[in-house]
A and B are shown apart, each in its own frame.
Chain A
Amino acid sequence: MKPKFNIKKISRFARIISALFFLLVIPCGLHNIYADEPVPSSGLISDPKKYDGKIIYYEGEVIGDIMKRGEHAWINVNDGSNAMGIWIKTPLADGIKYAGGYKLKGDIVKITGVFNRICTVHGGDMDIHATDMQIVTEGRETPKNAGFEKMIKAIILAVILLFIVAAGVMKKR
């Protein structure tokens, strides 16, 4: 009785599949996805050719305004060294709760997207066209109340100033 599975055929099939995988899938993948780790902005700016047109991960704090432009929006994400413009679909941007500013720590987001050294769609800007965004850490309010020490300094200086002005007025009289 013939065996149900032809080992030779299976082995040949497996070899073809693995050859195709090495020939097509791995080079394509290596070409498009640069690394698993987020790329720092300093790396993108100092060596843009290396990442141009590739899918990268970029992580940082959303700062300033979320500028909605129809179906897409611009957000700016600062990784501590520089801020990078991210062109993102508006529904994804809607998930951002806090954008950083004075008294506000913005959401820390992980962006997956294509890095453009000179974006032809956006007038030559260096930017990232996001395909996905994950909120790593939600932002928060960072209250900054008027310091007691500063208040004391202001009061002392105001008293000195009043004294000088009063002395001037008395001298004139």
Chain B
Amino acid sequence: MVLKPTIEDIKIIGYYLSRIIVGLSFAMIFPAIIGIIFGEEDAALDFLIAAAITMIFTSILGRICRTRKDLDWMHGMVVISVSWLAAMALNAIPLYASGHYMSFLDACFETMSGLTTTGLSLVQDLDHLSHAHNLWRHLGPFIGGQGIAIIALTFFIKGTAGAFRIYVGEARDERLLPNVIHTARFIWKVSFVYLTLGTLILGIAGISLGLSPMSSFFHAVCLFMAGFDTAGFAPQSQNILYYHSVAFEAITIVFMILGTFNFNLHYQIWIGNFKELYKNIEVRAFFISMTLVFLVVAVLLSYSGIYSGAIIIFRKIFYHIASAHTTTGYMTIYAKQFITDWGGLGMLMVICAMALGGCICSTAGGIKMLRIGIIFKAFWQDVKRITQPKDAIISQKFHHIKDIVLSDQQARAAIMITVSYIVLYLFGTIAGMILGYPLLDSLFESTSAAANVGLSCGVTDVSMPAALKMVYIIQMWMGRLEFMSVFALAGFFIAALKGKR
């Protein structure tokens, strides 16, 4: 029997929603400061207004729904799914106020794309956008990549059992440390250490490429946030092509790969367990898969005479395969070149790389390498079962932080999420085709949105139908949260409509 949610349930959800969202209003202070530093008072005002609206919203919601009760699983999941929608709408306020978006929907698309670390963009005239708004575009991935809830867990929510439910709701099912609050703080610590190092490296590289020091460090901080958080936004409309530099491309590849790794792997490296780097099933699966896709595309495009020479193959083929597989979405070609130069098979291989994605408990999207590794191991176990004598005991192990014996439950969970992703990819593809786009273009863009990649073959554009923009927003949201929270929200609404008191 399904029970109708009570007023108390709604109050719990509302109260924790206000706790999570309040962090965003504080985050808006940073671009406001940047605006003042760069003499962009008009832009700074956009952020002060948006921060005030967010604070008023969270204060009123927090007061109305004040409760001392802790979250149960359903509350935790619903809070997270609603938080991402609320964050999208509130974060879009300053972007829309910039005047660089055709509609509020476009601004919402941009913020959802940023928060989910996708990187598809509907901004207009990016090359004239203020530093403050540009920084906000890139802060989105940094906040959303680590997790909106991670901010709340770090600063605004006490370490209760409910805290863990919020953490899990954001598609993070691994605790690095016994306490979830300590885990959240570790994730921030790692991110800030990398942010400092990454900004320094990219900043110095930028100066050597001819950028002014101020411009170089601004670009560096933006590119690092979007690269490490596998978002793929860049401060200029040409994305990484703007810099015309092999050094910049090589550095961003390193950050993309670091960003796609599991935070648990970062923790192991942090505590000196370097063996994990080559023993971990996710890392192995990621490099095997990326190498295979790269080789196929390299042979294909070299044979067809499109790209030739090691440097060009590295800069054009390897870069985009790494960008797709890490689900970053950085580009050094124009979107249409996927169609004109890469052709059908090339695009299909990029779609495969995007669909597979990075590692779990990272900022990457897609099906994820741990699941692919588990499915492969389960398949191999079944092959062994067929070939071995009937009475033979077949067990399959894999290494992920520790040695784990593969269970049917793990295999089933991996297959279930994989199937859900495939359905989500197809949902966007069908929507694209209904709205008049060719099959391959629709599949490419849909996979890019649902796997939170951000590579585009030209479908994502201000002129695309509003319905398709909404479909991609839903795909980005569901892909980032890995379904469970969204299913919980759907269940909550069904219970509210059809449940019994």
- A contact set with B: CB distance below 8 Å: 45-49, 63-69, 73-74, 76, 78, 82-83, 85, 87, 100-104, 118, 120, 122-127, 144-147, 150-151, 153-154, 157-158, 160-161, 164-165, 168
Contact string, B254-286, partner A, CB cutoff 8 A, digits 1/0?
000000000000000000000000000000000
A118 and B306 within 8 A (CB): yes
Residues in A with CB closer than 8 Å to B306 are 118
A147 and B45 within 8 A (CB): yes
Q: Does B296 count as interface, using CB distance less than 8 angstroms?
A: no
Residues in A with CB closer than 8 Å to B243 are 67
Tell me, in angstroms, the Cα distance from A151 to B97 when the chains sit together: 13
Residues in A with CB closer than 8 Å to B46 are 150
- B contact set with A: CB distance below 8 Å: 38-46, 48-49, 52-53, 55-56, 59-60, 63, 97, 127-131, 209-212, 215, 236-238, 241-244, 246, 306-307, 309, 311-312, 314-316, 332-334, 336-337, 340-341
A76 and B56 within 8 A (CB): no
B209 and A67 within 8 A (CB): yes
- A-side binding surface: helix, strand, loop or mixed? mixed
B312 and A83 within 8 A (CB): no
B316 and A124 within 8 A (CB): yes
Residues in A with CB closer than 8 Å to B211 are 65, 67
Give A156 Cβ to nearest chain B Cβ, in Å. 9
A123-B63 CB under 8 A given contacts A46-B336, A64-B236, A151-B45: no
A157 and B210 within 8 A (CB): no
Tell me, in angstroms, the Cα distance from A69 to B206 when the chains sit together: 12
B45 and A150 within 8 A (CB): yes
Residues in A with CB closer than 8 Å to B55 are 161
Give A154 Cβ to nearest chain B Cβ, in Å. 5
Residues in A with CB closer than 8 Å to B238 are 76, 82-83, 85
Residues in A with CB closer than 8 Å to B45 are 146-147, 150-151, 154
Seed contacts A63-B127, A83-B127; 9 additional CB < 8 Å A-B pairs: A46-B340, A64-B127, A65-B210, A83-B236, A118-B307, A124-B315, A145-B42, A157-B53, A158-B52
B42 and A82 within 8 A (CB): no
A123 and B236 within 8 A (CB): no
29 A–B contacts, CB within 8 A, in A order: A45-B334, A45-B337, A45-B340, A48-B337, A48-B341, A63-B236, A66-B210, A67-B243, A68-B210, A74-B244, A76-B238, A78-B237, A82-B238, A82-B334, A83-B127, A85-B238, A85-B241, A85-B244, A102-B43, A118-B307, A118-B341, A124-B315, A126-B337, A146-B45, A150-B97, A157-B56, A158-B52, A161-B52, A161-B55
What residue of chain B has the Cβ atom nearest to residue A160's Cβ?
A: B56
B210 and A73 within 8 A (CB): yes
Residues in A with CB closer than 8 Å to B340 are 45-49
Give A99 Cβ to nearest chain B Cβ, in Å. 10
A150-B334 CB under 8 A given contacts A124-B315, A160-B56: no
From A73, A83, A165, residue with most partner B Cβ within 10 Å: A83
Give A36 Cβ to nearest chain B Cβ, in Å. 25
A76-B236 CB under 8 A given contacts A69-B210, A118-B307, A123-B315: yes
Tell me, in angstroms, the Cα distance from A120 to B316 when the chains sit together: 12
B48 and A154 within 8 A (CB): yes
Residues in B with CB closer than 8 Å to A144 are 40, 42
A65 and B212 within 8 A (CB): yes
Give A45 Cβ to nearest chain B Cβ, in Å. 5
Residues in A with CB closer than 8 Å to B60 are 164
Residues in B with CB closer than 8 Å to A82 are 237-238, 334
Residues in A with CB closer than 8 Å to B336 are 45-46
From A100, A118, A160, residue with most partner B Cβ within 10 Å: A118
The one of B42, B210, B244, B314 that contacts A125, using a Cβ cutoff of 8 Å: B244
Give A28 Cβ to nearest chain B Cβ, in Å. 25
Tell me, in angstroms, the Cα distance from A3 to B52 when the chains sit together: 98
Tell me, in angstroms, the Cα distance from A44 to B287 when the chains sit together: 35
Tell me, in angstroms, the Cα distance from A126 to B55 when the chains sit together: 46
Residues in B with CB closer than 8 Å to A47 are 340
What residue of chain B has the Cβ atom nearest to residue A145's Cβ?
A: B42
What residue of chain B has the Cβ atom nearest to residue A81's Cβ?
A: B237
The one of A65, A66, A150, A165 that contacts B42, using a Cβ cutoff of 8 Å: A150
Give B64 Cβ to nearest chain A Cβ, in Å. 12
What residue of chain A has the Cβ atom nearest to residue B315's Cβ?
A: A123
What residue of chain B has the Cβ atom nearest to residue A46's Cβ?
A: B336
Residues in A with CB closer than 8 Å to B43 are 102
Give B442 Cβ to nearest chain A Cβ, in Å. 19
Give A26 Cβ to nearest chain B Cβ, in Å. 29
The one of A49, A66, A100, A122 that contacts B244, using a Cβ cutoff of 8 Å: A122
Residues in B with CB closer than 8 Å to A150 are 42, 45-46, 49, 97
Residues in B with CB closer than 8 Å to A147 are 42, 45
Tell me, in angstroms, the Cα distance from A120 to B309 when the chains sit together: 8
B128 and A126 within 8 A (CB): no
Tell me, in angstroms, the Cα distance from A159 to B211 when the chains sit together: 42
Tell me, in angstroms, the Cα distance from A31 to B110 when the chains sit together: 43
A146-B42 CB under 8 A given contacts A65-B211, A83-B237, A158-B52: yes
Give B230 Cβ to nearest chain A Cβ, in Å. 23
A76 and B242 within 8 A (CB): yes
B237 and A118 within 8 A (CB): no
Tell me, in angstroms, the Cα distance from A30 to B275 when the chains sit together: 62
What residue of chain A has the Cβ atom nearest to residue B38's Cβ?
A: A102
Residues in B with CB closer than 8 Å to A126 are 241, 333-334, 337
Residues in B with CB closer than 8 Å to A64 are 127, 215, 236, 242
Give B291 Cβ to nearest chain A Cβ, in Å. 20
Tell me, in angstroms, the Cα distance from A74 to B237 when the chains sit together: 15
Residues in B with CB closer than 8 Å to A63 are 127-128, 236-237
What residue of chain A has the Cβ atom nearest to residue B55's Cβ?
A: A161
Residues in A with CB closer than 8 Å to B56 are 157, 160-161, 164
Tell me, in angstroms, the Cα distance from A127 to B242 when the chains sit together: 11
Residues in A with CB closer than 8 Å to B242 are 64, 76, 83, 85
B244 and A120 within 8 A (CB): no
Give A86 Cβ to nearest chain B Cβ, in Å. 10
